[in-house]
């Protein structure tokens, strides 16, 4: 069972630095975050890297699918200039680089598996094998989340002792059956689609409920009062 801090830095700290980069992890730590969320997908040669979108265009100087380039080719791209000139040359990190830095900075981690279609099991298998090999047994293990049922099923097989969270948009009426089937102890829902009664039902059932992505401090305080364990935010802080 993970002891969640109230805030989780979304894609590192997407409001403070280019998302899913080492700079974003450093920015989250500097801002006082205790935990960060990162998006993980596979390169063409099957290596796990941090990147949110299927395509490179929005957050790097590359074009086309991330999955079309090898890890070596991805590492040559600039994933920082689009955010601000001060981040020019910031690379797309590998999962190994990101987790090593999180350990160095003392950040807890939420690994979101973002598989390309058809690579759900492979993404979970590869990413979590890499993560398990470098994550010390003495540190609380990362939370593994995904919208993909298949990725979560594979996660259960690869790192059975690590907590898993099912990602959803609006909370589906069958949330309990779906989380039970996957042995997920955490449900992660879109805060914009939340219904107060549903929040009560979920927390009353003993399920840990996290939400994404919220930057409004007043609404954050309201959701914590209602029993949300942690909120994914682009502007994480210590309080």
Which residues of the chain form contacts with ligand G3P (CB under 6 A)?
A: 10, 37, 39, 52, 112, 145, 167, 188, 212-213, 232
Q: How far is the CB of 110 from Ca ion (least distance, A)?
A: 8
Choose which of 59, 66, 108, 112 interacts with Ca ion (CB under 5 A): 112
Piece in contact with Ca ion (CB under 5 A), picked from 91-99, 106-114, 124-132, 220-228: 106-114
Residue 55 annotated among the catalytic residues of the structure: no
Q: How far is the CB of 13 from ligand G3P (least distance, A)?
A: 13
Q: How far apart are CA 108 and CA 26, in angstroms?
A: 13
Cα–Cα dist 191/230, whole Å: 11
Q: Which does 188 bind (CB under 5 to 8 A by kind): Ca ion, ligand G3P, none?
A: ligand G3P
Q: Which does 212 bind (CB under 5 to 8 A by kind): Ca ion, ligand G3P, none?
A: ligand G3P
The secondary structure of the chain in percent helix, strand, coil, rounded to multiples of 5, reads 35, 20, 45
Catalytic-residue membership of 10: yes
- The site for Ca ion, by CB under 5 A, has a size of 2
Q: Is 169 exposed, middle or buried, given 0-12, 13-18 or 19+ CB atoms closer than 10 A?
A: exposed
Is 234 a binding residue for Ca ion by CB under 5 A? The answer is: no
Q: Which of 170, 187, 174 is nearest to 227 (CA)?
A: 187
Say if CB 179 and CB 188 are below 8 A apart. no
d(CA 62, CA 71): 13
> In the chain, how many H helices and how many E strands?
8, 9
Contacts with Ca ion, 27-66, as mask; x by CB under 5 A: ------------x---------------------------
With CB under 5 A as the contact rule, which of the stretches 42-50, 97-105, 109-117, 151-159 interacts with Ca ion? Answer: 109-117
| CB 207 within 8 Å of CB 179 | yes
Q: What are the catalytic residues?
A: 10, 52
């Amino acid at each position: 069972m993970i002891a969640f801090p109230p805030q989780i830095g979304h894609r590192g700290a997407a409001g403070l630095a280019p998302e899913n980069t080492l700079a974003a992890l450093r920015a989250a730590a500097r801002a006082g975050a205790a935990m960060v969320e990162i998006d993980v997908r596979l390169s063409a040669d099957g290596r796990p890297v941090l990147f949110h979108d299927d395509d490179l265009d929005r957050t790097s100087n590359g074009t086309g699918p991330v999955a079309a380039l090898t890890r070596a080719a991805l590492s040559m791209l600039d994933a920082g200039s689009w955010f601000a000139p001060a981040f020019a040359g910031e690379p797309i990190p590998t999962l190994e680089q990101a987790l090593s830095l999180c350990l160095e900075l003392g950040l807890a981690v939420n690994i979101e598996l973002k598989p390309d279609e058809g690579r759900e099991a492979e993404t979970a298998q590869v990413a979590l094998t890499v993560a398990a090999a470098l994550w010390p047994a003495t540190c609380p293990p990362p939370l593994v989340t995904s919208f993909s049922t298949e990725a979560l099923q594979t996660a259960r097989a690869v790192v059975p002792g690590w907590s898993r969270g099912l990602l959803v948009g609006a909370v589906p009426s069958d949330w309990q059956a779906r989380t039970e089937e996957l042995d997920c102890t955490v449900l992660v829902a879109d805060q914009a689609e939340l219904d107060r009664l549903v929040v009560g039902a979920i927390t009353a059932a003993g399920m840990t409920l996290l939400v994404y992505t919220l930057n409004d401090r007043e609404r954050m305080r309201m959701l914590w009062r209602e029993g949300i364990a942690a909120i994914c935010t682009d502007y994480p802080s210590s309080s």
